[in-house]
Chains A and B, each alone.
Chain A
Amino acid sequence: MRFSGFILAIDSYLVRKGTVSLLSRIPDIRIIREFSAADSFRQYATRQDIDFLVISQSIFDQSSAVFVSHPGLLERTILLKEDSVSHLEIHNSIHLWEEKEVITAKIKRLIELHSSSLSTSGSSELTQREKTIVRLVSMGLTNRQIAEELFLSTHTVTTHRKNISSKLGIKSVSGITVYAIVNNIITIEEVTSKPSE
């Protein structure tokens, strides 16, 4: 937890190792797995969540199914471009001849943009919205009730709850409640008398 997990799917050995060496210089990045072929990457992707992906053009071309089954992954993917022809609209790409500083900046920006929406968040500070949710959880509200209170979808509340648990390293309602009390987010008086799920 508290780091960004990267999957590399790059067929060229040299490019893959170069990417590893570059990524490992950026703090809070973990390389979860490296793949040199499309089939082993696709097989992995059927079973696992992926936070961030760096992929080579040829594996990318053979892996469209992965992006269908992982909605949102495309925005967290960096395509390594070998030529200037762009056959698919993708948000983030790196050209192989780009300077180290440019590449590093691109990767860091990507992480910043997405880490708050991923379970493996880069920061352990709660946002204001998350604190509000922690408060409502401690008062005994269900996700559905919280969603109604804050005009959010239940799905969004569930995502927030996941992020909160991952940032704090606490899963239970009672654990979150005690966290909220010692951090002045709520008083003991305001807490529901039966914190349970």
Chain B
Amino acid sequence: MIEERFDAIVVGAGMAGNAAALTMAKRGMKVLQLERGEYPGSKNVQGAILYADMMEKLVPEFREEAPLERHLIEQRFWMMDDRSHVGMHYRSEDFNEERPNRYTIIRAQFDKWFSSKVREAGATVLCETTVTELARDERERIVGVRTDRRDGEIHADVVVLAEGVNGLLGTRAGLRARPTPDNVALAVKEMHFLPRETIEARFNLKGDEGVVIEAAGTISRGMTGMGFIYANKECISLGIGCLVADFQRTGQTPYGLLDQFKRHPSVAPLIAGSEVKEYSAHLIPEGGYKSIPQLYGEGWVVVGDAAQLNNAIHREGSNLAMTSGRIAAEAIDLVKSRGEPMSATNLSIYKKLLDDSFVIKDLKKYKDFPPLMHTHSQNFFLTYPQLISKAMQNFVRVDGTPKAEKEKATLKSFVKARSWTGLFGDAYRFARAWR
């Protein structure tokens, strides 16, 4: 059956692979998609927030069809120390709109649905198939793949590598470097089930309204990291992630961190009495713009997490994956429609189109952020959260101390912890990286 030749082979049925396969199949290309999981999604882990705009570009009717959890009407940021959190919450009735902008989803379920759209569009999707190697011709061009399913090679004009953050194939073939401990984070996550009404009461929601909490501070014990709590319909996704280099350096355990986060007095009441139904872990690309590898070559392109296309500051990844997958597919279609070969020169149009999109523009904006966070993690994730919490407590506690003295004490604690040069330096570095 596989003796035939394909216009394109897509490795991986995650967000990027599905976007690419769908786009090419819709344009009439003959597409084979290979996925190692039992079904698409069975290997994939995400928070997960879905950004509607990028999904709409692929499946305009997704709101009616896809398994969505809650549309987000509120975003909370928490800066935590061991016993407190300082929060910034944004909630708006404007988000209860006809076509909401963000949803929580459950990846294993969502990917399965997304894949059904890929099949409907005419692509051949083979699951339970691990691609083991890229096939090359005598001129070293990529001409197909080998899998663990059958002997021999499957050939195509172009291979789309949508293999996720671990990206074994591309690194083994020397197309890009293996991720390093300081450009990937390890996140661990649990699914906590509770009755719908309980979730709505605890998070102040009605109907399908949703809320997400992003948390940082002493929960990461001085490592570069973040925690998250996302409300789904009948469960809460809760997790925490830190840079792999930090885990390696400190000897902290990921499950120890997760448990401490769950026991935090601000978190524990939200999940009290829940039934945990899954424990998962996954890497997240964190290197930003400077870690983006070569994106195309002779007979191949790379999309999504495999290309480190992830905006760690805004916690966006799936939308960059979907967009890069779609743009790569459009570029391939363009080359094909001109009747030209899938050479590196011709495929470079993919990078040009991607450079013009929000994907590369956003990553470029924050290019200096990852190194700043990584080298100053003690200050940004431990010292400041503690200081800010202390300042807030000093501000709200009414104990007869004159306000002027309170302010002085707060200022003194900041200068003592970081010195004036330290404070100005941090503010300057932060502002520069944000620009």
Query: Do A and B come from the same complex?
Result: no
Interface residue ranges, B against A (CB under 8 Å): none
